[in-house]
Structure 1
Amino acid sequence: MTLETHTFTITRADLVRYAEASGDHNPIHQDEAVATSVGLPGVIAHGMYTMALAARAVSLWYPGAEVVSFGCKFTNPVVVPAEGGVDIEVAGETKSTEDGLTTIALTVTCDGQKVLGMPKAVLRA
């Protein structure tokens, strides 16, 4: 079953708030000069923040479900412009339901490029 795609906008202000909440103050997430000096195309979103937005989509599809496992690989950075924001899209497909567990394969993209590799959630509804 294909699930409704959710779009989330990430701004630089979101990155500041996430850094405060997570304690991850790596300057590549806030300082353009530092980000480009280490070979990045610009300030990038925290991988764990991107993953959290994917998890938010799962919670919207299955409110109240228990998350048994959730995982992915960080494959491409999400570059966040100084002005405005950038959208990530989270699509999902229910792959199986057995023994009370539902497995969801996710596709997380930014500007048409996958940013999380093999994202998958297993839920107990």
Structure 2
Amino acid sequence: MTARTTSSLQVGDELEPLAVDPISRTTLALFAGASGDHNPIHIDLDVARSAGRDDVFAHGMLSAAYLARLLTDRFGQHRVRSYRVRFAAITPVHGRPTCRGRVTAVDDGLATVELSVVLDDGTTTLTGDATVAIGESGKDA
């Protein structure tokens, strides 16, 4: 993102991308414990193979959490007014997600940010949008 303050966001501004380390089996196990989502397809190779997959794959909500971090790192949690995501593709183990955001509207103290998570091979795994307050204090919307 440019050096603009939050209050001077303009349509077309892009947030600084958040590049995430490749998804490891350790990350999947830790996320399962933290989230309470112990679906074995995310952590057990035998289960993944019995379901026709070559390997385990990331929880969709892990990518959603990384995308939320993009927002809170840039705007702070207190400015986020809404956040929606849609799962578009699987993130394989060892995949390297990059979270992106682009301002698509600015109106009455609020900015709409179009969001995506994209892998190194160009696969978009998650899309969404958020509404954030853009006044100096973040309390104006």
The TM-score with structure 2 as length reference comes to: 0.78
Task: List aligned pairs for 1:35-54, cutoff 5 A.
Answer: 35-54=48-67
Q: Closer, same or farther in 2 for the Cα pair 1:50/1:64, shift >3 Å?
A: closer
Q: Closer, same or farther in 2 for the Cα pair 1:58/1:33, shift >3 Å?
A: same
The amino acid of 2:19's aligned partner reads: T
1:120 to 124, 129, 132: 129
Task: List aligned pairs for 1:5-24, cutoff 5 A.
Answer: 5-9=17-21, 10-24=23-37
Secondary structure at the counterpart of residue 16 of structure 2: strand
Q: Closer, same or farther in 2 for the Cα pair 1:48/1:99, shift >3 Å?
A: same
Alignment partners' CA distance in 2, 1:66 and 1:12: 33
Q: CA deviation at 1:64?
A: 4.7
Alignment partner, residue 6 of structure 2: none
Q: Percent identity?
A: 36
Task: List aligned pairs for 1:63-82, cutoff 5 A.
Answer: 63-80=76-93
RMSD: 1.5
Secondary structure at the counterpart of residue 24 of structure 1: coil
Secondary structure at the counterpart of residue 97 of structure 1: strand
Alignment partner, residue 93 of structure 1: 102
Judging by fraction of residues, say which structure has more strand.
1
Matched, 1:26 2:39: yes
Deviates more, 1:37-46 or 1:52-61: 37-46
Alignment partners' CA distance in 2, 1:16 and 1:99: 43
The TM-score with structure 1 as length reference comes to: 0.87
Gaps of 5+ in 2: 1-12
Residues 57-114 of structure 1 deviation map (CA, whole Å, 9 limit, x = unaligned): 111222354221111111111011xxxx431011111111212211100121113100
Gaps of 5+ in 1: none
Alignment partners' CA distance in 2, 1:36 and 1:67: 39
Q: Which has the larger radius of gyration?
A: 2
Report how many aligned residue pairs link the two structures: 120
